[in-house]
Amino acid sequence: MSSLGLVARALKSAHRSLRETTFRRWNRDLPFADLLLDRWERARRLGFGHGASIYDSSCVFGNVTVGDHTWIGPNTILDGSGGLTIGSYCSISTGVQIYSHDSVTWALSGGRADYEHAPVSIGDCCYIGPQAVIAKGVRIGEHSVVGTHSFVNGDIEPYTIAVGAPCHPIGHVVVHSDGSVDLQYDREPAGSADPSVVPHSIAVRRGGLNPADFHTVRE
């Protein structure tokens, strides 16, 4: 057998062993790179905060700063070409794209205009839902929720629930001293046929994020 064939056989054997071990221990099946490589080690190598992790499938460009215990999900884009700061205890869900530059005027001008850059910052304790896109120059305040598939092209105040394209606020986050969380909505969530179910058109959910409340937003 050729040396290339031996390498291929060794890789297949390693893949099978890692896949079986991972499935047996954690009941999950991942791509080979994510089975083989350590998410926490990659985060340390990139200079991210203590306990942060980032999948191998995530792309990182430019100057990106990430705080402690933040989880960067698979297939994400962190563009720090204009500067990107993400706080501690954030959840950056699968497929999120965060840009601190764009090439709109460059493309429209036939290359005569330069790329445009502006820093992005995400405060501590934020949840960014799957497939959300965050444009350059945006600031997201601490303890905020951005719903799935949202397009964020403007600032979001701290303790805000925001969804949509373009992203807009629909409620507020209340964090209690014991760590419990209320999500308070400024209008009735989708699926509630009886307005009397939600006093004064404000819905309160205790104990965590309920994606079903985000109207057209889906996990």
Q: Which residues contact 121 (CB under 8 A, 6 or more apart)?
A: 84, 85, 86, 138, 139, 140
Q: Which residues pair with 98 in a beta bridge?
A: 78, 134
For 198-215, what is each residue's pLDDT tens digit? 332 233 343 444 443 433
Q: What is the pLDDT of residue 84?
A: 98
- 3-state DSSP assignment of residue 7: helix
Q: What is the pLDDT of residue 85?
A: 98
In the block, tokens 């079986």 appear at: 20
Do residues 68 and 47 lie in contact, with contact meaning Cβ atoms separated by under 8 Å? no
Q: What is the pLDDT of residue 10?
A: 80
Q: What is the pLDDT of residue 187?
A: 66
- 3-state DSSP assignment of residue 29: coil
Question: Which residues of the chain fall below pLDDT 70?
Answer: 1, 187-219
Q: What is the pLDDT of residue 196?
A: 29
Q: What is the pLDDT of residue 188?
A: 53
- pTM attached to this predicted model: 0.80
In 3D space, the residue among 87, 93, 89 whose CA is nearest the CA of residue 72 turns out to be 93
For 21-40, what is each residue's pLDDT tens digit? 878 887 877 787 777 778 99
Q: What is the pLDDT of residue 11?
A: 77
- The amino acid sitting at 176 is H
Q: What is the pLDDT of residue 56?
A: 93
- 3-state DSSP assignment of residue 101: strand
Q: What is the pLDDT of residue 95?
A: 97
Q: What is the pLDDT of residue 18?
A: 78
Per the rule left: phi > 0, alpha: psi between -120 and 50, beta: everything else, 216 is alpha
